[in-house]
């Protein structure tokens, strides 16, 4: 694990809420992380975690997607830092939910909101390695306006015949022009798969969403050992 001070190379806005932040790795430094891991931004002694959006194949920069979290003082401080600072201090790598080689089963990647960030890193690592097993990406958002990476996801689908992108809007009343899938992410997956017994699943979302997905998929035939999420480490279930 390393602690580095990284210059902010660029900040762009995907939409009104989400920023794409690109950090430069200092000259002479090297980083090593796995696809799906995260880093901490160090803020007045606090560690604020953010999934890495870029592939570990990229060595000179790190991409983050940062969106304000309502009611979070840390989020307010991070937004202020991004508005004013020229560099940030990070600690990297973190997390044991990652992919370091193509998997031998069908792969389902599930990202809620900016949980797409972790899945982007995994996809951009895997697809150039031409995996033989199919990959499905399910991205769940409240409204269609939150699907800020749609064109990128569709480009993956065009380029790789074994890749399928499924966007899901949970509150379609907010998106009257949306004609795609609606509802909850676990429901969408269960509708598409008769069984999940030959499937590896990676999930990024809130603890409630992740555990609801886990329970639903176990009932649908998934092995208890075949779902991976950072939630299992930072918010383990209390044993009864």
Q: What is the 3-state secondary structure (H, E, C) of 113-131?
A: HHHHHHHHHHHHHHHHHCC
Query: Is the pLDDT at 238 greater than 80, yes or no?
Result: no
Q: Which CATH class is domain 106-234?
A: alpha beta
Pick from 4, 194, 36: nearest CA to 106: 194
Q: Considering the chain, what is the average pLDDT of its residues?
A: 95
The two tokens of residue 174 are 């907010």
pLDDT greater than 80 at residue 85: yes
CA distance 39 to 52: 7
Distance CA 177, CA 161 (A): 28
- What the block records as the tokens of 143 is 């409204």
Q: What does the pLDDT read at residue 16?
A: 86
Q: What pLDDT score was predicted for residue 177? A: 93
- Mean pLDDT across 209-213: 96
The correct CATH number of 2-94 out of 2.40.30.10, 3.20.20.140, 2.40.50.140, 3.40.50.2000 is 2.40.30.10
pTM above the 0.85 mark?
A: yes
Residues 6+ apart with CB under 8 A from 189: 108, 110, 136, 138, 196, 213, 217
Residues of the chain with CATH 3.40.50.80: 106-234
Res 240 pLDDT > 70: no
Average pLDDT for 172-197 = 95
Report the share of the chain in percent with pLDDT over 70.
99
CA distance to 23, 106, 152, 181, per residue, from 228 (Å):
27, 14, 24, 24
pLDDT for the residue numbered 239:
64
Whether the predicted pLDDT of 157 surpasses 90: yes
Question: How confident is the model over 97-124, as pLDDT tens digits?
Answer: 999 999 999 999 999 999 999 999 999 9
Q: List where CATH 2.40.30.10 sits in the chain.
A: 2-94
Q: Give the pLDDT mean for 151-172.
A: 96
- Spell out the alpha helix ranges (H) of 193-240: 207-219, 231-234
């Amino acid at each position: 694990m390393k602690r580095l001070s990284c210059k902010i190379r660029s900040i762009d806005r995907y939409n009104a809420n989400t920023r794409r932040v690109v950090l430069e790795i200092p000259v002479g430094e090297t980083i090593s992380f796995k696809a799906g891991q995260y880093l901490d931004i160090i803020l007045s002694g606090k560690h604020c975690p953010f999934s890495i959006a870029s592939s570990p194949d990229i060595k000179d920069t790190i991409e983050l997607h940062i969106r304000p979290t309502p009611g979070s003082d840390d989020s307010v401080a991070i937004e202020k830092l991004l508005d004013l600072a020229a560099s940030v201090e990070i600690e990297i790598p973190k997390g044991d939910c990652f992919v370091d080689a193509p998997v031998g089963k069908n792969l389902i990647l599930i990202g809620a909101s900016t949980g797409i960030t972790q899945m982007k890193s995994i996809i951009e690592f895997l697809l150039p390695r031409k995996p033989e097993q199919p990959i499905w990406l399910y991205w769940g958002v409240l409204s269609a306006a939150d699907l800020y990476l749609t064109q990128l996801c569709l480009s993956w689908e065009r380029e790789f015949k074994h890749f399928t992108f499924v966007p899901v809007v949970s509150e379609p009343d907010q998106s009257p022009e949306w004609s795609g899938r609606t509802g909850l992410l676990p429901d969408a997956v269960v509708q598409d798969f008769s069984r999940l017994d030959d499937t590896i699943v990676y999930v990024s979302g809130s603890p409630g969403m992740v555990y609801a997905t886990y329970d639903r998929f176990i009932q649908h035939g998934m092995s208890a050992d075949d779902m991976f999420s950072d939630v299992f480490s930072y918010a383990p279930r209390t044993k009864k």
